Amino acid sequence: MKFFVDTANIDDIKELNDYGLLDGVTTNPSLIAKSGRDFKEVIAEICKVVAGPVSAEVAAMDFDGMVAEGEHLAKIADNVVIKLPLTLDGLKACRHFTAKGIKTNVTLCFAANQALLAAKAGATYISPFVGRLDDLNIDGMELIHEIRTIFDNYGFKTEILAASIRSANHVKEAAIAGADVATIPPGVIKGLADHALTDKGLDQFAKDWAATGQSIL
Ligand code: G3P
C-alpha cells in the first residue's frame, strides 16, 4: 500500500520524505487554510520536494469552473493531480481531464455507488472518507472492502485512496481491505513506528551494552 501524507505543511512533508516514507501528498481546501500559505505557491513547493503525485483541489462547483481551475493547477508541475468533488459536474470534469491525460482524484466519496461512477469516469484515484463515516457510527472500512470487491469484479484500474484516516488501526485495516493508497496525517504516519515493547527492548539493550564496556567504533 502506498503512503500519501494528508497535509499542506511543508516541514512535515520534507521530514517524512527524508525518511523515505512518502509516495505522494494530498491537500484539500481546509488543509490549505490551516497552512496559512498561498495555495498555488505551496503546491509548487510541495511538487519540488516530492516526486510522487500531489493532489490539488478545485474550488469551483460547476463543470466550466472546475475545468478552468484544474487546467491552471495542472500547469504548476507534472506531478499535480486534480482533485474533484464527487458530484455530477465533478465526474464530468474527471472525464475531461482523463481524456487529456491529466491525473484525477475524485474526493468526498461516502458510498460504493459513488466510487463506481468515479471509476466509470476514468478517475486515477477515488477517495473514500473512512473517518468521517466512523464519526457517524457507520463502518468506514466496510466501504473500502465494498469498493475493492466492485473494482476487482470489473477490472477497474482506478486506485482506492483510503482518506480521512485518523489512526494506526485505520492504516492497518485499509491495508487488509486492499486499499491501493492511504492518505494519512503526518503524526499518524510517524506513530506507526511506535511500540512500547520496542522502547522497552531498546532500553534493556542499551543498559546491557553499556555493561559490556565495549564500543563498536
Ligand atoms: O483530505 C481528505 C481527508 O483525508 C480529510 O480527513 O480527517 O478531515 O476527515 P478528515
Question: CATH no. for residue 98?
Answer: 3.20.20.70
pLDDT band of 65, cuts 50, 70, 90:
very high
Structural domain contains residue 202: no
Is 89 contained in some domain?
yes
Q: Which residue, by CA, sits nearest to atom 3 of ligand 1?
A: 164
**144 domain-assigned:** yes
Which position among 2, 14, 83, 120 bears the catalytic label?
Answer: 83
Q: Is the dihedral of CA 38, 25, 169, 163 positive or negative?
A: positive
In this predicted structure, what is the pLDDT of residue 119?
98
User: Is residue 157 helix, strand or coil?
Assistant: coil
- Measured from the Cα of 131, ligand 1's closest atom is 9
Paired residues of 80 in beta bridges: 54
Q: How many domains does the chain have?
A: 1
User: Does residue 148 fall inside a structural domain?
Assistant: yes
The answer to the question of residue 84 being in a domain is yes
Give yes or no for a contact between 168 and 191, defined as CB atoms under 8 angstroms apart: yes
The answer as to whether 71 is a domain residue is yes
The widest CA-to-CA distance across the chain, in whole angstroms, is: 71
**Grid coordinates belonging to 124:** 486515477
Predicted TM-score of the model (pTM): 0.96
Exposed/middle/buried for residue 167 (C-beta within 10 Å: 0-12, 13-18, 19+): middle
**Tens-digit pLDDT profile for residues 194-215:** 999 999 999 999 999 999 999 9
Q: Does the C-beta of 131 come closer than 6 Å to ligand 1?
A: yes
Query: Known catalytic residue: 83?
Result: yes
67 falls within a domain: yes
Given a contact cutoff of 8 angstroms between Cβ atoms, the answer to whether 50 and 79 are in contact is yes
Q: What does R_g of the chain's alpha carbons equal in angstroms?
A: 20
CA of 206 to the centre of ligand 1 (A): 40
Query: Ligand 1 atom closest to Cα of 183?
Result: 4
For 184, the domain range is 2-192
- Inside any domain, residue 208: no
Ligand 1 centroid vs 216 CA: distance in angstroms?
A: 46
Nearest CA to ligand 1 atom 6: 164
Indicate the DSSP class of residue 60: -
pLDDT recorded at residue 137: 98
Say how many Å lie between the CA of residue 39 and the centre of ligand 1.
17
Under the banding of pLDDT at 50, 70 and 90, the label for residue 66 is: very high
Q: What is the pLDDT of residue 69?
A: 98
Please report the pLDDT score of residue 111 as a whole number: 98
pLDDT in tens, 135-186: 999 999 999 999 999 999 999 999 999 999 999 999 999 999 999 999 999 9
